[in-house]
Amino acid sequence: MKFLSAFVTFENLHEVRRLCHWGPVIALSVIAICSTMAMLDSIIWYWPLDTTGGSINFIMLINWTVLILYNYFNAMFVGPGYIPLGWKPENQHDAQYLQYCRVCQGYKAPRSHHCRKCNRCVMKMDHHCPWINNCCGHLNHAYFTSFLLLAPLGCSHAAIIFIMTMYTQLYERISFGWSTVKIDMSAVRQFQPLMPFSVPAFAATLFALGLALGTTIAVGMLFFIQMKVILRNKTSIESWIEEKAKDRIQHYQTGEEFIFPYDLGGRWLNFKQVFTWSGTPKGDGIVWPVHPKCNQHTLTMEQLKQKADKRVRSQVQYQVVEDYNGACCPLSKGLQTFFRTPCTEEPRIALNKGDIILATRGTKWWMYGDKVLNEEEMKGKLLKSL
């Protein structure tokens, strides 16, 4: 199996260190708690193994856990695929259409981007995911998206088990303060539980239910976001590049028609570029099938235009009119600003009223740029660098 081979053929042990990060620790803890509690609740209190339904339910719970972990570890350890260090296009003439990466000492192939966390240029980079402590890109995009689908499904199943366990064990009497309310339930237990449903068992089940419901909602939303870009054969970064392309064309009134080059014209065709029966996506991560009106460097040339536009726009200065503490999701600045925070790893810059910034681009709620440092701040920055 490819998963086992990936585990055995590590070139170095630093891959195993990906597990030593808050993201995988939390993710695996949630998986372990939800799956373990669902199995225990089923066997001990809700649906014993000596019934046909209980056996099927138990097998399904194990199946969810295995599939979730299989795709999770593949997304983590197979990785996104990296552009070789010092890479150059076969045709040297094409180098003029590509960006050069000073860290990797090579050109960035089409659809690749440099990840500051991984310190490499990543093939078809979508984003760096802290939950797998790795990038989501060309080789692991399908595994990552499958994990995003399976986790909510498995947690939904577990949540039903938790609810039914508490329902069947607490139906006789539920106390509210000083009064005792007797509830007549039709679903009476037909078997004797292996052990009493104690307060610690109730607390553990309730805690696991909260984790399962939270995971279902949060990861389910991420799944729909991923599928939205996959069905258009895009990545999250490329969606942002396309948005900036339309903004550039509208700002300068160039009359250009920007066509996203990797949308093959059909959702099924785009879907098959990521998901295959073998688990290995189509392509080598460097050369891609493109729209008939585009070429291999349509998007990279647009990126170069945006870089040039960024240099021009960065000459415009803006004065800050309100303090900002650099929070990722500042609730004090309004709900629109809170919910429309950019999904990017770029750091937020704390600002004080009266500061000067150079903005390169922006939306109605957020701006991108740099703060103009005064003499004292420049001296402080120099001292820190020494």
Name the residue with higher pLDDT: 262 or 340: 262
pLDDT digits (tens, 9 = 90+) for 7-24: 444 445 667 889 999 999
Contact 244, 237 (CB under 8 A): no
Name the residue with higher pLDDT: 146 or 169: 146
Q: What is the DSSP string of 102-158?
A: TTTTEEPPTT-EEETTTTEEETT--EEETTTTEEE-TTTHHHHHHHHHHHHHHHHHH
pLDDT-derived band at 247, boundaries 50, 70, 90: confident
Contact 310, 284 (CB under 8 A): no
Contact 74, 140 (CB under 8 A): yes
Q: How does DSSP classify residue 281?
A: P
Question: What pLDDT does residue 63 have?
Answer: 97
Task: List, by residue number, the catalytic residues.
Answer: 129
For residue 90, pLDDT beyond 50:
yes
Q: Which of 60-64, 180-184, 314-318, 370-374 has the lowest mean pLDDT?
A: 180-184
| Mean pLDDT of the region 209-218 | 97
- Classify 384 as helix, strand or coil: helix
Contact 92, 130 (CB under 8 A): no
Question: What pLDDT does residue 197 have?
Answer: 75
